[in-house]
Amino acid sequence: MTTTIRPLQPSDRAAWEPLWAAYQRFYEVVIPLETTDVTWSRFHDRAEEMYALGAFDGDGRLTGIVHAIFHRSCWLPQWTCYLQDLYVEADQRGRGTGAALIEAVADLARKNGAGRLYWMTHETNATARRLYDQIAERSGFIQYRKAL
């Protein structure tokens, strides 16, 4: 089956929302609708360094999403690209969709002069980690958060 990766357009929101909701359920979080609205608008604002790409099957159905954010770093002179969210529908996992989405972000990062692409996943996400261990190296860093 053919998968096409392309930037999500404003008209793709209705197809994106169920995958965004499934991603939140997977990580057991609830992101308020107001935040989702702001996030969606940032993806389509040229002044923002945020991007959303989608994987579409041969029938044009959205089966996976990825979100990327570019930022500066104290460790590199170039931009850094953070792959913040990646979700592939359960029936599409193991078919290369996730790897294709990651590679599309890597292409976007190279095109925009980034010196590094990085991402995180939960330590219990064994399925994703099997893929990630094949295509990238773990940094060994542990993330901490402080609510503000």
Of the chain, the percentage scoring pLDDT greater than 90 comes to 86
Tell whether 20 is covered by a domain.
Answer: yes
88 within domain boundaries: yes
What digits encode the pLDDT tens for the residues 104-140? 999 999 999 999 999 999 999 988 999 999 999 999 8
Q: What is the CATH number of the domain that holds 105?
A: 3.40.630.30
Q: How confident is the model at residue 68 (pLDDT cuts 50, 70, 90)?
A: very high
CA distance 86 to 23: 8
Instruction: Tell me, rounded to whole angstroms, the distance of Cα 23 from its chain centroid.
Output: 10
Query: Tokens for 86?
Result: 């990646």
Asked whether the predicted pLDDT for residue 1 surpasses 80, the reply is no
Distance CA 144, CA 129 (A): 19
Q: pTM for this one?
A: 0.93
Give a yes or no: residue 148 inside a domain: no
Which domain range does residue 70 map to? 4-135
Residue 85 covered by a domain: yes
Nearest to 94 by CA among 126, 117, 68: 126
**Within a domain: 33:** yes
| 20: pLDDT strictly greater than 70 | yes
Q: Does 84 score more than 90 pLDDT?
A: yes
Answer whether residue 112 is part of any domain. yes
42 inside domain: yes
- Count the domains in the chain: 1
Inside any domain, residue 92: yes
